[in-house]
Structure 1
């Protein structure tokens, strides 16, 4: 996310801060561009865990997809599990960005979606959730 500072009338303090939403993909592009360049080598190889807890109909997953790299993992829980229903447009968009998709078993069962998800998605329990958080040093809740 980029920020733009606008100067106020007095002193050096900014009058306002604007969040520029059109650059949501900057992080993933920046990671790809700097990978393996001298001093920065290895810095951008950090894998991220994204957790999606809201329904894709209540959140804009296109911004998430702009951030995800092929090495990142995405875990769907709570109402977010509806995003991994097989053959849905949302699920197909997810597959185009990441193959590392996980879903929490208890949340699937609570919503009666056990038979409606794709075989590509890995179903995990709470121990698997803990394993994912240990694996990733960075976490982004969506």
Structure 2
């Protein structure tokens, strides 16, 4: 299962809900304002640091760059481009977008 979160963990509880319900081995893709959780500062406050042990976590690189936080990518998070985004969606049978 691929979980996609596009809201900041400081704006909504979407990421917290996702992390609570995601199962071991699932993948998480952070896009748009969701990328803030993938930064070194955001990972701890978003609970992402603990999730890295059980989930594959990806972030959309163009969204990181657009927000000026690409240099602060948290360890263990994999940045992907738009082609990588499409590959992740195609690779996973089920996708859940958290609004």
Would the aligned equivalents of 2:27 and 2:56 in 1 still touch at CA under 8 Å?
yes
Shift of 1:141: 0.5
- Highest Rg: 1 or 2? 1
The alignment of Structure 1 onto Structure 2 pairs a total of residues equal to: 94
Counterpart mapping for 1:1-142 below 5 A? 48-60=1-13, 61-88=15-42, 89-91=44-46, 93-97=47-51, 98-142=54-98
Structure 1-normalised TM-score? 0.61
- Could you tell me which runs of 5 or more consecutive residues in structure 2 were left unpaired when the two chains were aligned: none
CA RMSD of aligned residues (A): 1.4
Task: Provide the C-alpha distance between the structure 2 equivalents of 1:136 and 1:99, rounded to a whole number of angstroms.
Answer: 14
| Structure with larger RCO (C-alpha < 8 A, sep 6+) | 2
When residues 131 and 51 of structure 1 are mapped into structure 2, their CA distance, relative to the original with a 3 A threshold, is same
Runs of 4 or more consecutive aligned structure 1 residues displaced over 6 Å after TM superposition? none
Shift of 1:52: 0.7
Structure 2-normalised TM-score? 0.86
- Could you tell me which runs of 5 or more consecutive residues in structure 1 were left unpaired when the two chains were aligned: 1-47
